[in-house]
Structure 1
């Protein structure tokens, strides 16, 4: 099994690891570099090769779209090939990221994504980009409507389910009612419908972690998961029990985004107190960096885990 994400060295840092959104997809990383230099033909070839693997297509399209010059080169591509649905999709995704940075009008980004969706009706990727935009700018009703559009095209879309889980987790409620928060119900429902071996079987873990992120940011839970009761008790044990059986199956799944679930599961298992299982997971994933809610701004979480594990063993 490949390590979680292949990382890049931070320029000028002492060997510091930096998050790479390509997550070990070497073909994608090479095309991203080419696109940054204006060579959109390589992007066309990669997306053609990706075909209708919707999870992989969404991952690759979004990574390419995050480049600062992607919108400009997507427009060049459209001038050369006005009927290209991939060019339209790349432009729509790129405009979403520009809108989130305040460099593009939100409505223009929406229009570009809808135009891309009309050119490729079966493709959930333009709707995935709209969901990313709606998470920051839309209403609850709009987010759910867009999510339904993604799920109607690809029922088990990995990234969309992660996004929707994060959106639901961000709906604040009183701490007394938190064990019954809707994000847990959503994640349990999805996991129950997911096919055997699907990474969506681990969605209850993602929901638990995302909800912890929100509660910690609001000051309801401690900032250090090790000090939080969120990872102890009945619900945490149920989450681990329901999700842990999934991870041995993941070795047959090589899509980069699926490996994100191993990272969530490893951290959650560690904080829930299952040190043997956490060790096995971290050893399988190896050194890497990641994003919130399991983010360590100054260190590789694998090394943080090893240090914490040594401390725990020393005090045992």
Structure 2
């Protein structure tokens, strides 16, 4: 697929972008996918108004910080009118690698919402990957798509493609854990489930200062999500032994101690991991430690600690969080 194809073969039903200056509805909750990245939030707002130059500058400054680049491109790609505005960018700069990557992930987001044909999104990602062979971001887009729609061998192959370019890619590991946790959803609690082995192995091979050290907590949480949805665990997480058993105590203690000793303030997705830990502390009944973590998270504290903003399987967490913070 050429840049011309990217510009001319898009879906015919895409609505035109809104006029500049049109007000946009506020989110129904406080969660912001941009997390604490103020530059990203500003670029997203500008893109929504058709000013793609701000996104262009942001991605140029990001360079090969692959975790941050993946996070920024993913958040920008969720903007409703990212596809038409990015096509405008490509018309102005047909050789722009950043524009091609952003357009590819925007088409992935549309495909996941059922507004784009998956083969078209796949073609866009492969075209972007050909333009930027060292960039894991187009492969991250493919992994997002196949994690939801693809067969297991293809999901594992795409994860390997991401790791071949950046072995410690944070978001890719989150996606794999979420996918693996869904295996054998009807079998009930299984302390030897493969998602735990995957998380432990990834955390052990990661550098000492890597946020991947918290992956065992993510695996524990994602597996609970699946078990609760299947009716094997109560949806009130605080009432479940899943969070207070021997394995849970070991996982939470190791991850919490790691965060206390070292916290990578600049990591684009660190607040997601802090939310995992904070909610785990609530479920363990260790409210003081949870409150300390929520205080550190600040305005981004959210009842949904999962990898994706639409995941909140435990409405009781809202009450538990307020109790931990003394605001109930």
Which bin holds the TM-score, normalised by the shorter protein? 0.7 to 0.9
Q: Measured at CA, do residues 27 and 211 of structure 1 come closer, stay the same or move farther in structure 2, by a change above 3 Å?
A: same
| CA drift at 1:34 | 1.1
Alignment equivalent of 1:150, drawn from 151, 155, 162: 162
Q: Give the match for residue 289 of structure 1.
A: 302
1:1-316 to 2 correspondence within 5 Å?
A: 17-173=29-185, 175=187, 178-287=190-299, 288-289=301-302, 291=304, 293=306, 295=312, 301=318, 304-307=320-323
Which of structures 1 and 2 has the larger relative contact order (alpha carbons within 8 angstroms, sep 6+)? 1
| CA drift at 1:74 | 1.4
Q: Measured at CA, do residues 19 and 180 of structure 1 come closer, stay the same or move farther in structure 2, by a change above 3 Å?
A: same
- The alignment partner of 1:89 has SS state of helix
| CA drift at 1:54 | 0.4
Q: Distance in 1 between matches of 2:108 and 2:26?
A: 31
Q: Map Cα deviations across residues 259-307 of structure 1 (whole Å, 9 max, x no partner).
A: 2111101111221233443232223223422536473898994x74232
Q: Measured at CA, do residues 236 and 297 of structure 1 come closer, stay the same or move farther in structure 2, by a change above 3 Å?
A: closer
Q: Distance in 1 between matches of 2:95 and 2:74?
A: 20
Q: Distance in 1 between matches of 2:49 and 2:188?
A: 53
Q: Distance in 2 between matches of 1:94 and 1:286?
A: 30
Q: Distance in 2 between matches of 1:234 and 1:299?
A: 23
- The alignment partner of 1:18 has SS state of coil
Q: Map Cα deviations across residues 106-161 of structure 1 (whole Å, 9 max, x no partner).
A: 00000000100110011111111111111111011111100001111111111111
Q: Measured at CA, do residues 176 and 255 of structure 1 come closer, stay the same or move farther in structure 2, by a change above 3 Å?
A: closer
2:217–2:277: 8 Å Cα contact kept in structure 1?
A: yes
TM-score (norm 1): 0.88
Q: Distance in 1 between matches of 2:226 and 2:314?
A: 18
TM-score (norm 2): 0.84
Q: Distance in 2 between matches of 1:242 and 1:214?
A: 23
**Poorly superposed stretches of 4+, deviation over 4 Å:** 10-13, 296-301, 308-312
Q: Distance in 2 between matches of 1:160 and 1:147?
A: 7
Q: Measured at CA, do residues 249 and 129 of structure 1 come closer, stay the same or move farther in structure 2, by a change above 3 Å?
A: farther
